[in-house]
Amino acid sequence: MADKIFRVNMSDLSTKVEPVPAAWLGLGGRGLTSTVVATEVIPTCQPLGRHNKLVIAPGLLSGTPAANSGRLSCGAKSPLTGTIKEANAGGTSAQMLAKLGVKALIVEGKPQDESKWYSLHVTRDGVTISEETEVIGLGNFATVKVLNQRLGEKVGVITIGPAGEMRMSAANISIKDPDSHLRSSGRGGLGAVMGSKKVKFISIEHTSEQVQLADPEAFKTANRLFAKALVDNPISKALAQYGTNVLVNIINESGGLPTQNFTKGQFAGHEAISGETMHDTIVARGGKPKHNCHQGCVIQCSQVYNDLKGNYKTSGFEYETIWALGADCCIDNLDHLAEADSLMDDIGLDSIETPVAFGVAMEAGVLKFGDGAELCRILRDEVAKGTPLGRIIGNGAASVGRVFGVTRVPVVKGQAIPAYDPRAIKGIGITYATSTQGADHTMGYTIATNILGVGGKLDPLSKEGQVELSRNLQIATAAIDSTGMCLFIAFAALDDATCLPALIDMINARFGISLTADDVTNLGKTILKTEHGFNLAAGFSNKDDRLPEFFAEEPIAPHNVVWDISDAAIDSFWDF
């Protein structure tokens, strides 16, 4: 059966199943969410109003046996940045939606009666809308628990926590993973968009049906090659052992680890929060150093981190979160970090935006740098409960900066800058400035080439070549984000000549088409231009593609460098 568009109108509580328009047939994941948003959403609309739409789409290969293909894309106009937004995560939902033949789920409109909450249930036949009371106000973990009891352990769940219900701009969308824990589409406040539509959760019926492959034999051959390229890559091995947090020490060593609200490039407590220390702690407490966020991942960068007593505390404990709570807020205690990570997952908060907001609040004197216990208290007692201070923090770093009159506010287009200082790693500064979605390292991960020596080498302190590096990576990433693939396949794709052709062969075998590498690059370019076009129509210009001025004025130790790439060079990013 052909894939369909499932459409839900929350204004009149109606649902429809539609054929996929021809122009969307070759799209999936980010390519599809961004195309739908650009086609159907008024660019100048109020992100929390009835004209915005939440679009949820599995990738082109999601639901197939392809390794690492279970990422789900969520897209909308972002209430945090005002730009177009796509955030993707693992969990079980992408594969389940794909198996039900859902090309995309579009949630539009908004109920007039704001007093009621709803849930959506997705089956092969369509979507049912029900009024919901039981889980309203609950955290994500309790919500998943109730739904597992109500609908069975195998049900897929996409949900928002209290942060999304309160429409905070740092609210994420959480996706149930195979262990009934959570993976998050973190950035840009998409949880607030879901909350504005009064949808607390989306449940997905389990199916034993499989995605139809046009050429199963060719698919199998390509998948074998692809998985081998991933497994053989040495970086995959390090990711399995140490998680993404293996980066703390190397970024610190390079002098690009933003510390104490972006005032230094190295953190004295780096060793205590490093991937190496985390690995030893996990092993000593009987946790799991390697773990996957969805079935079929062969890299397994996730982990299970236990508390001192050996009980489960958190998983998917990522470098960027650990950096933000650790170096940026100067908390050198992994247990405080794990507690905060778990709280943010439960409340449904972006674990980059929120701790960066805390870093700004620490600079303002709201709490002290290094005070992990107070940070956890504020999350629990203020943010989760929606007190005035909690809402200021839950609306992100820019919100805290404005309210407390702080000028050192590390955001681009309103979104917090993550774990790599653009003064000491200049390529990533280009990505932050030009990304269609505000500061986001994943949009064009120049760290690979600037620091890790993947896909070549480019001096992180040099101005030369950074625009081109960021552009090429942003184009490739837009394409990969459309396949349902986890971005960590890129490490193999950049350095192993068999990886990308195998990926393209799988797409061809899935759909019975004959894409070439050039087609894939062109897809990436088209997606970027579509997203950029939306932003321009929403009122953004090249003047918004800039880093905050303190980066040009405050040198960062140890290299004592400032952001010095010219505006003209930044603007040349879009010359393609």
Residue 265 contacts ligand SF4 per CB under 6 A: no
List 5, 57, 74, 297, residue binding ligand SF4 (CB under 6 A): 297
List 357, 447, 475, 561, residue binding other proteins (CB under 8 A): 447
Distance CA 351, CA 56 (A): 21
Chosen from other proteins, ligand SF4, none, partner binding at 90 (C-beta under 5 to 8 Å by type): ligand SF4
Instruction: Give the binding range for other proteins (CB under 8 A) out of 119-127, 249-257, 283-291, 429-437.
Output: 249-257
Residue 491 contacts other proteins per CB under 8 A: yes
Q: Assign 402 to helix, strand or coil.
A: helix
Of 180, 184, 181, 183, residue with least CA distance to 171: 184
Write down the residue that tokens 């607030």 correspond to. Answer: 192
Chosen from ligand SF4, other proteins, none, partner binding at 223 (C-beta under 5 to 8 Å by type): none
Contact (Cβ atoms closer than 8 angstroms) between residue 183 and residue 100: no
Chosen from ligand SF4, other proteins, none, partner binding at 448 (C-beta under 5 to 8 Å by type): other proteins
**Minimum distance from residue 63 beta carbon to ligand SF4 (Å):** 15
What would the x/- binding string for ligand SF4 be over residues 90 to 129, using CB under 6 A? x---------------------------------------
Distance (Å) of CA 419 to CA 250, 256, 318, 518, 574: 12, 8, 11, 32, 25
Q: Assign 187 to helix, strand or coil.
A: coil
Residue (231 or 389) nearer to ligand SF4, CB = 231
**Minimum distance from residue 238 beta carbon to other proteins (Å):** 4
Residue 488 contacts ligand SF4 per CB under 6 A: yes
Residue 59 contacts ligand SF4 per CB under 6 A: no
* Angle in degrees, CA 356, 38, 466, rounded to 5: 50
* Angle in degrees, CA 156, 506, 518, rounded to 5: 120
**Minimum distance from residue 128 beta carbon to other proteins (Å):** 38
**Minimum distance from residue 422 beta carbon to ligand SF4 (Å):** 24
Distance (Å) of CA 182 to CA 91, 102, 129, 145, 294: 7, 22, 23, 11, 11
List binders of other proteins among 366-425 (CB under 8 A): none
Q: What strands lie across the sheet with 173-176, from one edge to the other?
A: 126-132, 117-123, 199-204, 156-159, 173-176, 182-185
3-state secondary structure 450-470: HCCCCCCCCCCCCCCCHHHHH
Tokens linked to 234: 């040495």
Contact (Cβ atoms closer than 8 angstroms) between residue 87 and residue 37: no
What would the x/- binding string for other proteins be over residues 299 to 338, using CB under 8 A? --x-----------------xx------------------
Chosen from other proteins, ligand SF4, none, partner binding at 297 (C-beta under 5 to 8 Å by type): ligand SF4
**Minimum distance from residue 575 beta carbon to ligand SF4 (Å):** 32
Distance (Å) of CA 247 to CA 58, 181, 237, 419: 29, 24, 14, 10
Residue 514 half-sphere exposure, CB side, CA atoms within 13 Å?
Answer: 0
Residue 60 contacts other proteins per CB under 8 A: no
Tokens linked to 11: 């204004």
What would the x/- binding string for other proteins be over residues 449 to 468, using CB under 8 A? --xxxx--x-xxx-------
Distance of CA 49 to the CA centre of its chain: 23
List 487, 515, 552, 569, residue binding other proteins (CB under 8 A): 487
List 33, 35, 52, 68, residue binding ligand SF4 (CB under 6 A): 68
**Minimum distance from residue 417 beta carbon to other proteins (Å):** 14
Instruction: Give the binding range for ligand SF4 (CB under 6 A) out of 195-203, 286-294, 496-504, 547-555.
Output: 286-294
Contact (Cβ atoms closer than 8 angstroms) between residue 430 and residue 473: no
Q: Given the rule CB under 8 A, which residues bind other proteins?
A: 234-235, 238-239, 241-247, 249-250, 253-255, 271, 275-276, 301, 319-320, 441-442, 445, 447-448, 451-454, 457, 459-461, 487-488, 491, 558-559
Q: Given the rule CB under 6 A, which residues bind ligand SF4?
A: 68, 90, 292-294, 297, 299-302, 486, 488
